[in-house]
Chain A
Amino acid sequence: DAGVIQSPRHEVTEMGQEVTLRCKPISGHDYLFWYRQTMMRGLELLIYFNNNVPIDDSGMPEDRFSAKMPNASFSTLKIQPSEPRDSAVYFCASSFSHGMPQYFGPGTRLLVL
């Protein structure tokens, strides 16, 4: 299995631009998670899906952030408009079932200038 796939791996953009991060979970996994990691705040859960349905988006910082999962093999996290404080590493993770371990992708390193 290829594991969780994320793209792009690095993104540099200017403040105000739209940023779209992409994730392909491990085949057969029903849960998909989006995390953000910074030195100051550590690993934060933004949102998670079960069977393509958003279950908990309480971690999404504000309306500038949105996430979709149109099918079982693809999800996007969009930031519009982006701000410098959004600079972080964004991870996608997936798991087979509730209570089971989550497997992380390599992350997207985002820098907003």
Chain B
Amino acid sequence: QKEVEQDPGPLSVPEGAIVSLNCTYSNSAFQYFMWYRQYSRKGPELLMYTYSSGNKEDGRFTAQVDKSSKYISLFIRDSQPSDSATYLCAMSAVIRGATNKLIFGTGTLLAVQP
């Protein structure tokens, strides 16, 4: 079993829809959770960063972390064609005071149709 599981998609939605992207994980030590967006032929770009449980909102994007269920989500409101990209979740743990190894999901390919 992989440490981080993410549905690869593709996920196709009409413009204006609410998009829900999800990851599950197995390591209860994970404390830092990130979402990256990667456009075709570009590097991953940090979208959201959260520590421990709870919600974080930034414009049309909301990140949720449920540590009890080992489940994280990214919601995109009023989706636009420019949101079409691969979305990768990533997470890391701090063990014995220091670590910085990010574990990535495989990414979900999102297509927003105009």
Contact = CB atoms under 8 A, between A and B. Distances in A.
Interface string B59-81: 00000000000000000000000
A102 B102 contact: yes
Nearest to A92: B43
Contact of A98 (B34, B49, B100): B100
Interface residues of B, number: 23
Contact of B43 (A48, A50, A91, A99): A91
A30 B97 CA distance: 16
Contacts of A50: 100
Interface in B31-52: 31-32, 34, 36, 41-46, 49, 51
B104 A43 contact: yes
A42 B106 contact: yes
Contacts of A48: 100-101
Contacts of A100: 32, 100
B104 A42 contact: yes
Interface residues of A, number: 23
A103 B100 CA distance: 13
B110 interface: no
Nearest to B90: A102
Interface in A90-113: 91, 95, 97-107, 109
A26 B92 CA distance: 21
Given A45-B102, A48-B100, 4 more contacts: A31-B100, A99-B92, A101-B49, A107-B43
17 contacts: A42-B107, A43-B88, A43-B107, A50-B100, A91-B43, A98-B98, A99-B31, A99-B94, A100-B32, A101-B49, A102-B102, A103-B46, A104-B45, A105-B43, A106-B42, A107-B42, A107-B43
Interface of A: 4, 31, 33, 42-43, 45, 48, 50, 56, 91, 95, 97-107, 109
Interface of B: 31-32, 34, 36, 41-46, 49, 51, 88, 92, 94, 98-102, 104, 106-107
Q: Which 4 A-B pairs have the closest CB atoms?
A: A104-B43, A98-B100, A42-B106, A43-B104
